């Protein structure tokens, strides 16, 4: 069967609008099989530099907006008794990052923790939860990042699609080099990890 597509405009920071829009999409499509929580902002600033608004907006979109989407999706999935919730976190959520990345990193760490909690809650049930942790992929949010570890757009997208379709619980993408980097970030001392990623 061909996939059905429906489009709706949504500002995820408008938390009251999120369940309304999700409900309309569910009704239009006759249910929701998968929801990918992907809205993200990376406009943080070093803390203590008078730009708290940038960090607050980042957390508002990346974590509070994500919570609103997660809640709306899971309400539908619980009613249907099935569904696949995909949370697009980040390698930056594995370990706290410095300077302009601090609030972004915290928001993604929070999203990962929510995913892990939900995976425990829904273990063995027909509602699946995946946490996808992209490294650097050549998208708009990463265009200005100077690193040799950046995947080209097609490779990055293919890795994301594969991880989502496989319904993995945790997937750094692309796997190389981000799976070993994620492990290093998680377990090595900060004196070493500050040079990674």
Task: Give the residue numbers annotated as catalytic, written as ranges.
Answer: 104
**Token reading at 72:** 């709306």
**Peptide bond preceding 174: is omega within 30 degrees of 0, i.e. cis?**
yes
Which residues lie below 8 Å from residue 128, measured CB to CB, with a gap of 6+?
A: 83, 84, 85, 122, 167
Give dist(CA 84, CA 34) in Å, integer: 5
Give dist(CA 76, CA 64) in Å, integer: 19
């Amino acid at each position: 069967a061909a996939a059905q597509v429906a489009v709706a405009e949504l500002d995820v920071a408008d938390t009251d609008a999120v369940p309304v829009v999700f409900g309309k999409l569910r009704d239009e499509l006759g249910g929701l099989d998968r929801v990918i929580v992907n809205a993200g902002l990376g406009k943080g600033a070093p803390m203590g530099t008078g730009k708290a608004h940038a960090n607050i907006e980042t957390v508002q979109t990346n974590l509070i907006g994500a919570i609103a989407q997660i809640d709306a999706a899971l309400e539908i999935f619980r009613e249907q008794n099935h569904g696949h919730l995909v949370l697009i976190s980040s390698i930056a959520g594995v370990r706290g990052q410095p300077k302009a990345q601090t609030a972004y990193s915290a928001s993604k760490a929070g999203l990962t923790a929510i995913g892990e909690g939900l995976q425990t809650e829904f273990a063995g049930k027909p509602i699946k939860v995946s946490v996808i942790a992209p490294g650097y992929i050549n998208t708009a949010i990463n265009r200005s990042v100077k690193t040799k570890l950046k995947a080209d757009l097609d490779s990055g997208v293919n890795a994301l699609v594969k991880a989502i379709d496989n319904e993995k619980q945790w997937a750094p993408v692309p796997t190389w080099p981000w799976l070993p980097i994620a492990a290093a970030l998680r377990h090595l001392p900060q004196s070493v990890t500050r040079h990674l990623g």
